[in-house]
Amino acid sequence: MNPVVKFSINVEAIDCYLYGGYLFLVMADGQLLYVSYHKVVNRLKYEYPQYSSLIELIFLHNEYSKGEAAKIIFGVTEIREVVEKIWLKAAKEIEFELNFKDIQEECKSIGEYSSIPLDIRLYGYRLFLGCKDGLYESRLNLEDNYQINPSHLEKCYDGKVIGVNANYGSVVISADWDGLLTGEILDFDSKFRLDERHPQCKRSLRTGWMTTDLMNYEGTSEFDYYRNEYLQKKDTAEKHFYSKAKISERKIIKQFGTEVYGMETLFNKSNIDKEDIVYSFNSSQKGFFVMSDGSILNATIRANGLADSYYISSRSTNFAKFDKDIIDKPLSSCIVPSGCILEFFDKVVLIQNSQSLSLVNHSVNSVRSYTSSTNYRNIVSVVDDDKVTFCSIFGLDSLNHKPAFPKNPVPVNGFEPMIDEKQGKDLPF
């Protein structure tokens, strides 16, 4: 596993979020701030000019590792090797750093919060702040010059909110013993409202999307699978939220929880002993299970067409293995490309390709990934009491590389190209 490249902002913060070209900071002094992430990265480039191009590439343009162009470019072995060499040099030699005073003048305030913030989520150009005393919302109000002009925080729910999640035109709220609450955002100008009268369940600590369906976690290892009914939208010219029109999601949740499957049903065919699970989480396609022996298993959740139900596949994969004597029960988790992040009481661990790497070796305030983002999909943010750290994960391991020139020349219009094999091996490609 390649080490990560990090940069930190020395600031007293509780949480942060990257969204739409902006960095949002939940400050320890009660302020909710935002700043252009491009300006932050440009300041970092100014401080470390010898790494300017690398900084912009890995902290601002994660799309370099996606798409057909990336497969072709990094299919050239020598190009990939050069990028890896520079990456390793930066990861080993330096941890990039800024002080808050370096960017403070660029920061603007959305408002103040008076209760303990427990989660933050941005979706559909709205900011949701979950606090001990309720849920707060700010509309980002995108201007014609693509700058935002956020509204002040407005309370939209009075109960305790410990988790906020959003996708497919819907926002789901984990309100502990007040249950799982849902609301929708289908129009930029409409006021967001939660359906407080009809909670989906008795308890919700966190949630995870499985495409249009939802996993609700009532404990560290206990969960239910919520099958949702959705509408498939027709293709329109609307591709972004920028127009302030309706949300551009191709699928919109019509109704939550048309069917709910508990663990007894889900594990009916599985070879995983649910009694040995100490922590569960999920990606969009699979469930992950941290077992009491230190192993992490994953398995696909499948639909049973005959019985019209869902179950966890009998084929599970050993995703990783920890020493159970030195690893405690995870506190939180998030998905990254080809892997995951697990937060423990005294460390944060990256797991990829059956390998693990400690990102930090102490307790933290929050850990986030941004896999649904185009530009930040390989970035993980870690918030300590005195700094915010952005970890850039090497993004080329997941590419299926193709050689620039195949060993067997491909016929073109019935003729084989004349390539001297010996000379071809000496080409710098």
- pLDDT (0 to 100) of residue 412: 43
- Print the SS3 string covering 209-270: EECCEEEEECCCCCEEEEEEEEEECCCCCCCCCCCCCECCCCEEEEEEEEEEECHHHHCCCC
- pLDDT (0 to 100) of residue 427: 30
C-alpha span between 344 and 399 (Å, rounded): 29
SS3 state at 44: helix
Kindly give, in sequence order, each residue whose CB lies less than 8 Å from that of residue 406, ignoring residues fewer than 6 positions away: none
Condensed to tens digits (0 to 9), the pLDDT of residues 329-367 reads 899 999 998 899 999 999 999 998 888 899 999 999 999
Of residues 20, 85, 9, the one with CA closest to residue 390? 9
Amino acid at 366: S
- pLDDT (0 to 100) of residue 98: 97
- pLDDT (0 to 100) of residue 286: 93
- pLDDT (0 to 100) of residue 409: 45
Of residues 391, 426, 387, 389, the one with CA closest to residue 405? 426
Of residues 33, 35, 52, the one with CA closest to residue 44? 52
C-alpha span between 281 and 223 (Å, rounded): 9
Domain map (residue ranges) of the chain? 141-261
List own/partner pairs for 17-20 with CB under 8 A and 24 or more apart. 17/120, 17/121, 17/122, 17/127, 17/368, 17/381, 18/368, 18/370, 18/373, 18/376, 18/379, 18/381, 19/122, 19/373, 20/122, 20/125, 20/140, 20/148
CB 371 within 8 A of CB 336: yes
- pLDDT (0 to 100) of residue 226: 95
Length of the chain in terms of residues written = 429
C-alpha span between 429 and 420 (Å, rounded): 15
C-alpha span between 46 and 79 (Å, rounded): 26
Bridging pattern class, strands 5-10 and 96-99: parallel
Please report which helix (H) or strand (E) contains residue 184, including its range. strand 180-184
- pLDDT (0 to 100) of residue 143: 84
C-alpha span between 252 and 176 (Å, rounded): 25
Per-residue pLDDT of the chain (429 residues; tens, 9 = 90+): 678 999 999 999 999 999 999 999 999 999 999 999 999 999 999 999 999 988 998 898 877 777 777 788 887 888 888 888 888 888 888 889 999 999 999 999 999 998 999 999 999 999 999 999 999 999 999 887 778 999 999 999 999 999 999 999 999 999 999 999 999 887 777 778 888 888 889 899 999 999 999 999 999 999 999 999 999 876 554 444 444 545 667 889 999 999 999 999 999 989 999 999 999 999 998 999 999 998 999 999 887 765 567 889 888 888 888 876 666 789 999 999 889 999 999 999 999 888 889 999 999 999 999 998 888 999 999 999 999 999 999 867 655 544 544 445 444 444 444 434 333 333 332
Q: From the CB of residue 402, how many other CB atoms can be counted at a distance below 10 Å?
A: 13
- pLDDT (0 to 100) of residue 64: 74
Amino acid at 206: R
- pLDDT (0 to 100) of residue 297: 93
- pLDDT (0 to 100) of residue 321: 84
C-alpha span between 302 and 312 (Å, rounded): 6
Distances (CA, A) of 11 to 97, 122, 307, 383, 400: 11, 21, 54, 9, 39
C-alpha span between 161 and 163 (Å, rounded): 6
- pLDDT (0 to 100) of residue 423: 37
C-alpha span between 117 and 160 (Å, rounded): 10
Query: CA 70, 75, 77 angle in degrees (round to 5)?
Result: 130
Condensed to tens digits (0 to 9), the pLDDT of residues 300-335 reads 988 776 556 788 988 888 888 887 666 678 999 999
- pLDDT (0 to 100) of residue 101: 96
List own/partner pairs for 249-254 with CB under 8 A and 24 or more apart. 249/167, 249/168, 249/169, 251/168, 251/212, 252/168, 252/169, 252/170, 252/186, 253/168, 253/169, 253/170, 253/184, 253/212, 253/228, 253/229, 254/228, 254/229, 254/230
Of residues 186, 158, 183, the one with CA closest to residue 173? 183
- pLDDT (0 to 100) of residue 370: 95
Token reading at 242: 């920028």
